[in-house]
Amino acid sequence: MKFRSRQSCATRWKIATGAVLALAAGAVLAAPVAAVHDLAKKEQQAYLDTLRDLVHIESGSKDIEGVNKIAQFVADRLKQLGAQTEIIQPEDVYRMDDTPEKTGPIVHGTIKGTGKSKIMLIAHMDTVYQKGDLKDQPFRVDGDKAYGLGIADDKQGVAAILHVVDMLKKLNYAQFGTLTVVLNSDEEISSPGSRALITKFAEDQDAVFSFEGGGKDGGVRLATSGIGAAYLKVHGKSSHAGARPEGGVNSLYELAHQVLQMKDLSKPEDGLKLNWTLANVGTVRNMIPPEATAQADARALKVQDFDALEKAMQEKIQNKLLPDSKVELKFEVRRPPLEASDLARKLAGHAQSIYKDELDLEMTVADKATGGGTDAAFAGVKSRGGVVEGFGLSGFGAHSNNAEYVQIPTIVPRLYLATRMIMDISEGKTKP
């Protein structure tokens, strides 16, 4: 649905848009696009109010009541802003070892403009926290920091998207083709119910901006690590360890053999890592253990590396120490890697120049993954456009039980940046 202002406002916004276009026409701007910058400044308090409301709705990934509540709140806001909005309850769920019976909803909003560009904004509404944790970390502002449960990861990102859409509406700006908003509520449990949808919605976008927190200096990221998990299960046979050990098949011996023969599959030069980290075997000392399990953590920078790793592991387990044991291996891609693409580099370069030329701010662009994984990776799986992570505010303390905060002085630059990126992409002004 297109933005429509009431007639009385429309004229005023048209004048504002005219000024924006006149300014944006210059080659390198020494000053921010005034209408956008003034509006971002005006928007700061409303942004903080939204952030407070979002923090005050507890939404741990497995708290289905909580995630439904925040989804409804966000969907209502998007509707008010003129977006065609739906709340999707996931059906196509990628079941992993820790996937709960029910996973939370996805809010999907679209706004049609007059142009051709397709731009998608993503963030997640869920947190790692448990219901009841909010009382120890309520929303509060202290100096230039805003504190609260889940405020950095990732309620600031949800609020930013709502206010960027709000700003475009207030600017009466509609030169984009389609603006798509996707907000999921299962990111912290590796997006079992939303991954397929994020990939699908991202497929034909020109640009996807993910609003996880930006770096300390407002940096953005073009690559994130892939995270995998391997589950090894050995079936042996129990027997009395004292009276008849030869009647058993010792699953612990087989497990040890398997783990040791799969301990050198890492390829540090390619960023591929496999480390066995958990094992569970046996119940009592005097029984030959019938079952043994182990888990390994895997990281990769390229999707194919996980495929090759799984193949290598499936081959390895064929070589057994005890022929009578049975060995099974399951491999999960918990999150694929996001690989930096040329289109993403181009978008990030443009973001850098908006920061530098219009706001006189520095921005780093990280194109090597450092170990963390985000939903930007699901957006990147089939996307024909560029995917950039870290469009959110700077902050600190994600996944900690105290003092999670965001930097208030980063609100205006971030609202400004995302709005300006949408404008420049829609007007074909990103650098070649």
Q: Which stretch binds Zn ion (CB under 5 A): 36-44, 62-70, 205-213, 305-313?
A: 205-213
Residues 6+ apart with CB under 8 A from 84: 1, 109, 110, 111, 112
Q: How far is the CB of 225 from Zn ion (least distance, A)?
A: 14
Closest to Zn ion by CB, 32 vs 218, is: 218
Closest to Zn ion by CB, 186 vs 212, is: 212
Choose which of 58, 154, 206, 310 interacts with Zn ion (CB under 5 A): 154
Could you say whether residue 43 binds Zn ion (CB under 5 A)? no
Say what angle helices 156-170 and 64-80 make with each other, to 10 degrees: 10
Tell me the C-alpha distance between 189 and 192, whole Å. 7
Residue 371 DSSP SS3: coil
Choose which of 63, 153, 310, 339 interacts with Zn ion (CB under 5 A): 153
Closest to Zn ion by CB, 124 vs 420, is: 124
Residues 6+ apart with CB under 8 A from 283: 289
Q: Can you spell out the DSSP letters for 42-63?
A: HHHHHHHHHHHHHHTS--BTT-
Closest to Zn ion by CB, 156 vs 239, is: 156
| Residues near Zn ion (CB under 5 A), total | 3
Tell me the C-alpha distance between 107 and 122, whole Å. 10
Q: Which stretch binds Zn ion (CB under 5 A): 2-10, 31-39, 204-212, 343-351?
A: 204-212
Tell me the C-alpha distance between 46 and 317, whole Å. 58
Q: Which stretch binds Zn ion (CB under 5 A): 1-9, 107-115, 148-156, 419-427?
A: 148-156
Backbone angles phi, psi at 351, to 5 degrees: -60, -40
Say what angle helices 34-55 and 411-426 make with each other, to 10 degrees: 120
Q: How far is the CB of 154 from Zn ion (least distance, A)?
A: 4
| Pair 114, 45: CB distance under 8 Å | no
Q: How far is the CB of 212 from Zn ion (least distance, A)?
A: 5
Closest to Zn ion by CB, 61 vs 341, is: 61
Closest to Zn ion by CB, 123 vs 272, is: 123
Q: Is 187 labeled as catalytic in the residue annotation? A: yes
Q: How far is the CB of 6 from Zn ion (least distance, A)?
A: 37
Restricted to residues 329-348, the positions that interact with Zn ion (CB under 5 A) are none
DSSP label at 194? T
Closest to Zn ion by CB, 325 vs 374, is: 374
Tokens 């809010």 sit on residue: 107
Tokens 């996973």 sit on residue: 103
Closest to Zn ion by CB, 153 vs 186, is: 153
Contact flags string 212-231 toward Zn ion, x per CB under 5 A: x-------------------
Q: Which stretch binds Zn ion (CB under 5 A): 55-63, 150-158, 175-183, 321-329?
A: 150-158
Q: How far is the CB of 262 from Zn ion (least distance, A)?
A: 31
Closest CA to 410 of 349, 362, 344: 362
Q: Which stretch binds Zn ion (CB under 5 A): 89-97, 209-217, 288-296, 356-364?
A: 209-217
Which one is catalytic: 43, 58, 126, 305? 126
Q: Are strands 405-407 and 395-396 parallel, antiparallel or unpaired?
A: antiparallel
Q: Can you spell out the DSSP letters for 112-159?
A: E-SS--EEEEEEE--BSPPTTGGGGS--EEETTEEE-TTIIIIIHHHH
Q: How far is the CB of 32 from Zn ion (least distance, A)?
A: 29
> Does the bond joining 49 to the residue before it have cis omega, within 30 degrees of 0?
no
Q: How far is the CB of 89 from Zn ion (least distance, A)?
A: 21
* Partners of 233 in beta bridges: 293, 328
Q: How far is the CB of 124 from Zn ion (least distance, A)?
A: 6
Closest to Zn ion by CB, 82 vs 226, is: 226
Closest CA to 80 of 105, 111, 51: 111
Q: Is 217 labeled as catalytic in the residue annotation? A: no
Which one is catalytic: 186, 187, 305, 424? 187
Amino acid in the structure at residue 50: T
Q: How far is the CB of 133 from Zn ion (least distance, A)?
A: 16
Closest CA to 189 of 291, 254, 100: 100
Chain positions contacting Zn ion, by CB under 5 A = 153-154, 212
Catalytic residues: 126, 187
